[in-house]
Structure 1
């Protein structure tokens, strides 16, 4: 039975203050970076990070391996990062793959985005690139992330994942149409962790020695070839062998069949961003290759398994805020929120000294901080002073920021992103559909129809909104989906 929930008053913070805008994070002007003074956002993200213990809130189910990144092209004209300075240079890495929604004991062969979190142990400190196997995401503002993930987790009343919740949120969030089209296509269930691409997903800043700024997107193209699981085969495999993907990765490395990825980047001169045809910092969109062709810069190889899964995979931490000189953030509002949320989650889940664990500590340099004490502190600083400045010696600040300044303008406030000529939630979803061969379109429509048909019989409004979004992406897409859903829901009644 459907229960109507009545509104009880204004949305507030935990302290009872009204929330004026729960859709847009506060930024420094139109399109500027997110402000730390947005306490509604910080409280929401911090609360979300502490909702489950001790496993990860998202990306709990994971596998990892060590490897090597080899630079095949000098890219110092775009960035001063030392590990990207000389062709042939090698950097040790650790890569953690994961599903997103499932818990630690869930199966591998399920329809879900895959996390692709890569740690570079560079001589200037650890650089973390925390992406997915999809180049886009469901939302474009970090303030909506806790809401989105709540729809993917177990319902507070039923204790189960509920189609009503997922499709209600996606239908009310048209920006998700592109990623949902991707997720319910063939690549939604990869055959293995070795047979899928990885992406940095966000836009990042590169800056060179001359101070020039460029915006960049990362692509990791699998050299094993893209392979996906048919729905029926995946369902059998998930039940018969829940650890299928983890086992495949481990055993491939044990056999000496080291998986590799070709690393590419798309590079946009900073001046292009303001007049580009859509917001280049919108995480729900890709940069068309004809506008910014991918440039091959290196090769990633995984060649060593962890010795202990808990110590090295479960206790590994990644944060998009872990930059090195020459690389920095962009005004991407999802990225801006993640810069805070990931470190906060690690400090809560693993502990304040998580960076001291071998998998997380720098391998090619030494960490030197004035941070002390906390759970599991090992006393490594001995009697050294714990403040700065001091006259007893110790690490001192550098004169040059890691990244270049980003211009801002306008008043602070809860702004939507600045408008560009082609800012639209549906264009790229439609483009993706039209790129698919006919048999892939058929499978996409079937997958979506089966999922949407699971919405409660008395909630046709949720169904109509969901189908309507795909109709706006492509008329044929929407028409076929509408007919398929109606047929299935007629059978279910």
Structure 2
């Protein structure tokens, strides 16, 4: 979206918004001055009769509401969902029936552990919550970017959150899981290990919310018109593929741009590059409930896609940013129990707890029972209840407020036998009242091992490094050792490599679980490359005075035509003078950015490739960091020279003019002048691949 169009929209909004008129008090009284308090003389005391001062300050004093206990830091957007075809075969949910009907949605992404002021790129689970404003009422699919959770029973949720939150005596660390209390909890609770494996993988540091999977976590139940139930697990698959940061750049992003993921989402939508996900489901007939070697009600388990494929049923597009962060993103309230006819629960003990906890939390966070009247929470379906009064009631009710009644003509009346009302799935439940977990919940290691065996070699290396970093921050050596001992039940090699890095005895082997030694390829990030495009990929082009401007212009236009966002980076802001004497606008100054903020780097011809500039530490570091993080690196003309001190001998670099060489994500062409079609094609292919992990390490 252009700057001019943005300005036009702002002016249109002001024309329609009552706030565009004169300033008033909350009572509508016009105010002629708001910069000075009413006082007795120029230097006298402030007078209590200054009602404008008191109202303004009182409102300010109460502007903040309690932040969420978890998922405090988030970003949101509006959009729509549309099914591919009718899903009437397995659910009566109205929004899953007609491909021509678009259901409005609001989605909130978030980190979990940290407060609102923490950074986006911490190692953490990410929330992925979707509110569907359906014709039958609001449906909330409250999920995460992991398909499993850390505990099996909701009664353990306070313990887990207390353990992962900052240490109670120091209130540190902020937004991080690398500390004693979490790992003490993990080492004593084997059920956490599967989710911990996800947490130690690159899934915990997504490149973008737009490049992140989402999962419903629990096993839910679809119910069709005939009352037949089908177990279901929900999957969100991003159109752009699932891509992640690496830990080193995630940490630098926290300093360079703590809003890295939030900014990315906002900017993409503002630019008209609307994020898109496909909704898929795993469906299990009720008669197959016990057909697996794990319990479907266990939230620490997945159904491997090789056993039950994911069936695509629709797509979601986010196409509008909120107008006000507080009113919408902050006040939106999700609840796992917000379901519509055709979607029901199972007896998952963690899900049952969430069905209680979410509503209980909203009541205190949003100030009372009427938070559903906040616009972002308000259903598009008619609301008719006998619930009245309470904090922040905005509706003016008339008539009776009880049921049954005759004085109000019997209204609102319950629905008849027309099939439109929500009816709970009829399921026989009996048993003694006990505090005991089912034996079918007791296997805590097999799926953690499955995850490990499903990873590519580079993913395994990153997981080992993550464990070493996290446990290296743990002061209690006994906790480190106990955690390593637990890892021996997942994989001996993993446990031994972690032990060598954290200074505890290296364990012997022989404790791994027997089942699930085979891999599930769908669990690896390599299985989620995306649509093959480079849309919205951020590409940095290093420029300086004397640069081959024609070369830069040609390659920039070619990459922009493919949907990439190309920025010219120079030693200083402003303009550079090209080799032809023309001025070339700089987008950002080198000291204000870093390679971690970009998906690829391109070095054009001109002085940037001469020996003197090739030794410039900032330029060399920029290219080196992009290379060592597995990102595509391209060079044109004399720009090929800047790669010499960085790229190792195991990577081929073109030395012949007019000869394009693409090797392991490094694309070079020493020819001067405009970039050729072959170079653009090969560089685009390298960027679309996102990362190139198998190439040799940098020299410096």
TM-score bracket for the superposition, by shorter chain length:
0.7 to 0.9
Describe the superposition over 1:95-143 as per-residue Cα deviations: whole angstroms up to 9, x where unpaired: 0000000101111011111000100000000000100011011111100
Describe the superposition over 1:358-384 as per-residue Cα deviations: whole angstroms up to 9, x where unpaired: 100102x11111111111111332x22
Task: Say which of 168, 187, 201 aligns to 2:184.
Answer: 168
Name the counterpart of 1:407.
428
| CA-CA distance at 1:417 after TM superposition | 2.7
Task: Say which of 242, 257, 275 aligns to 1:259.
Answer: 275
Name the counterpart of 1:35.
none
Task: Identify if the C-alpha distance between structure 1 residues 236 and 379 changes in structure 2 by more than 3 Å, giving closer, same or farther.
Answer: same
1:428 and 2:447 are equivalent in the alignment: yes
1:72 and 2:93 are equivalent in the alignment: no
SS of equivalent residue, structure 2 residue 113:
coil
Q: Contact 1:328–1:402 at 8 Å: present in 2 too?
A: no
TM-score, structure 1 normalization: 0.85
1:444 and 2:444 are equivalent in the alignment: no
Q: Contact 2:449–2:491 at 8 Å: present in 1 too?
A: yes
| CA-CA distance at 1:445 after TM superposition | 0.5
Name the counterpart of 1:4.
none
Task: Say which of 374, 399, 406 aligns to 1:384.
Answer: 399
Task: Say which of 138, 143, 161 aligns to 1:131.
Answer: 143
Task: Identify if the C-alpha distance between structure 1 residues 424 and 124 changes in structure 2 by more than 3 Å, giving closer, same or farther.
Answer: same
Q: Distance in 1 between matches of 2:98 and 2:328?
A: 30
Task: Say which of 101, 106, 109 aligns to 1:97.
Answer: 109
Task: Say which of 97, 108, 131 aligns to 1:119.
Answer: 131
Q: Distance in 1 between matches of 2:137 and 2:481?
A: 50
Task: Say which of 224, 231, 241 aligns to 1:215.
Answer: 231
Q: Contact 1:216–1:268 at 8 Å: present in 2 too?
A: yes
Question: Number of paired residues?
Answer: 432
SS of equivalent residue, structure 2 residue 139:
strand
Q: Which moved more, 1:289-298 or 1:392-401?
A: 392-401
Q: Distance in 2 between matches of 1:145 and 1:218?
A: 22
Name the counterpart of 1:462.
479
| CA-CA distance at 1:415 after TM superposition | 2.5
Q: Contact 1:126–1:322 at 8 Å: present in 2 too?
A: yes
Describe the superposition over 1:161-184 as per-residue Cα deviations: whole angstroms up to 9, x where unpaired: 371101000111101111111111
1:327 and 2:343 are equivalent in the alignment: yes
| CA-CA distance at 1:151 after TM superposition | 1.1
Runs of 4+ in 1 over 6 A off after TM superposition: none
| CA-CA distance at 1:60 after TM superposition | 0.3
Supply the RMSD in Å over aligned alpha carbons: 1.7
SS of equivalent residue, structure 2 residue 299:
coil
| CA-CA distance at 1:475 after TM superposition | 1.8
Q: Which moved more, 1:226-235 or 1:311-320?
A: 226-235
**Unaligned stretches of 5+ residues in structure 1:** 1-51
Task: Identify if the C-alpha distance between structure 1 residues 488 and 470 changes in structure 2 by more than 3 Å, giving closer, same or farther.
Answer: closer
Name the counterpart of 1:479.
496
Q: Contact 1:73–1:296 at 8 Å: present in 2 too?
A: no
Name the counterpart of 1:204.
220
Describe the superposition over 1:21-44 as per-residue Cα deviations: whole angstroms up to 9, x where unpaired: xxxxxxxxxxxxxxxxxxxxxxxx
Q: Contact 1:279–1:417 at 8 Å: present in 2 too?
A: no
Pairwise mapping of residues 176-325 of structure 1 onto structure 2 (< 5 A)?
Answer: 176-325=192-341
TM-score, structure 2 normalization: 0.60
Q: Distance in 2 between matches of 1:149 and 1:356?
A: 30
| CA-CA distance at 1:75 after TM superposition | 1.0
Task: Identify if the C-alpha distance between structure 1 residues 438 and 487 changes in structure 2 by more than 3 Å, giving closer, same or farther.
Answer: farther
Q: Distance in 2 between matches of 1:337 and 1:487?
A: 38
Name the counterpart of 1:159.
171
Q: Distance in 2 between matches of 1:304 and 1:403?
A: 35
Q: Contact 1:71–1:86 at 8 Å: present in 2 too?
A: yes
Q: Which has the higher contact order (CA 8 A, sep 6+)?
A: 1
| CA-CA distance at 1:291 after TM superposition | 1.9
